[in-house]
Amino acid sequence: MNAEMEIAAGVVDLVRHTAGPAAEAEVLVTRSDLALTRFANSFVHQNVSETGVAVHLRLHVDGRTVTGSGSRIDADGLAALVERTRAAARLAPPDPAWPGLTAPTPVPAGPAVDEATAFASPDERAERVRAFVAAVEGLEAAGYCRTAYRSGAFANSAGHTAVGRAAEAAMDGIARAGGADGVARLCADRLADLDGAALGARAAAKARAAADPVELPPGHYEVVLEPAAVADLLQNLAWHGFNGKRYAERQSFAEPGTAQFDPSVTLVDDPLHAGTLPFDLEGTPRRALPLVEGGTTGAVAYDRRAGAEAGAGSTGHGMPGSATFGPIPHNIRLLAGTTDAGAAVAAGPVSAGVTGAVGDPDTAALVAGMRRGLLVSDFWYTRVLDPKQLVITGLTRNGVWLVEDGVPTRAVRDFRFTESYPRALGPGRVLGLGRTAVRQPGRVDGSWYETPALRLSSWHFTGGASG
């Protein structure tokens, strides 16, 4: 029995002894080792690391349900956690929709953990930073390299237990040439798979290609979105569409069984594909969940409560805050397409100054097919205007280029856009998918989005970034 399981089992026993055998309890204990090496102005300015243990307790007693959490794992700290959770239960309203506990069930082992990544040193992260800075060749560089290790154990009073471990590494950096930025991001199972020099060279080429942008009028443009931009689509689809709580409240666009997307679109929430614990907050085993198959919406995510209310089971998406925000898929893969990278033959010579706009064969193949459109590196500051149709407004950043006859001809000033994400990916609107998916780090701990570049027939740009 590992240390986290000893704690989890001990808290369940403590509940049984103090609240009686009728009390139902579930306990998740997680240890996190998170480390971040930051750089700005082309030098490392901060290295931070944190090791913490968190204990989450959910208690159902006398028809009432409450949760409690703490970070003290000594006997007095755990006893205090149980006592204050029991005290809160006495004041809580009745919970007739209590879904019960996860029954004993097998839990997969999850992906293998790279020990070198789990316990990487600051020097090993700094090596990637040094390589990134050297590769930008005199441009200003900023960003981070991080590593994360998580181990967890779950136990409940129904006799279900689960243990798991996970590790990951990520790098996110920009290079700046004057007022133009280029970005490169990557998330991986192993720190050894992060090539700081390659990422730095890509960011620098993009920054140099983004110099002296021109302003274009707003309107509908054909676009090629690079993986960093597509990751924003996947995150918003997950949070606001494939969320079982929002679906039950009729605030989601999702219509399971309906062909809402182009046939080339297949989306899978696949937590066991990479560094994630193999079970959720409620001990439910995680598994691959097909959200969209061949353009047809297939499922939304559920925790135990949302699943019970919908007449379905949990999909393994119980998480802190899911009672408020809903169960959210955090590990989505847009399966790659069959675009032939060998087709990336420019119609003419690439214009001087924008040779770095296209950074890989996948993107080049998609760009080569456009008569006139835009190549977009990244989206940010995206906000929901209409949750039901998932109309989003946001900004481009880190490089936009006008493409004419398959060639990026000039850099373009950043745009504001307003677009329905499901409509943009709708039937007949996806003109191509890259053959290689790139994993992008998410904005929430443990989340990531793996996607190829994406060519769409239309994207609605409503004005310049200033308004």
Question: 186 lies in a domain?
Answer: no
Same domain, 82 and 165: yes
* Residue 321 pLDDT greater than 90, yes or no: no
* Residues 156 and 226 both lie in one domain: no
Residues 227 and 375 in one domain: yes
Closest CA to 431 of 415, 453, 462, 448: 453
Residue 74 sits in the same domain as residue 157: yes
In this prediction, residue 338 carries a pLDDT of: 65
* Total count of domains within the chain: 2
328 and 461 part of one domain: yes
Is the domain of 397 the same as that of 254? yes
Asked if residue 336 and residue 252 are part of one domain, the reply reads yes
* Residue 315 within any structural domain of the chain: yes
Which percentage of the chain shows pLDDT scores above 70?
96
Q: How far is CA 28 from CA 24, 51, 81, 325, in A?
A: 14, 17, 13, 20
Confidence of residue 116 (pLDDT cuts 50, 70, 90): very high
Do residue 155 and residue 266 come from a single domain?
no
Q: For position 90, which CATH number holds?
A: 3.30.2290.10
Sign of CA dihedral 291, 297, 303, 308: negative
Q: Does 154 lie in the same domain as 272?
A: no
State pLDDT tens for residues 235-264: 999 999 999 999 999 999 999 999 999 999
Query: Which tens digits make up the pLDDT trace of 323-359?
Result: 888 999 999 999 997 644 334 333 333 343 477 788 7
Let me know whether 25 and 157 are in one domain: yes
Residues in Cβ contact with 233 at an 8 Å cutoff, skipping those fewer than 6 apart: 225, 379, 421, 424, 425, 454
Range of 91's domain? 3-134+143-170
| Averaged pLDDT of the chain | 93
- Does residue 143 have a pLDDT over 90? yes
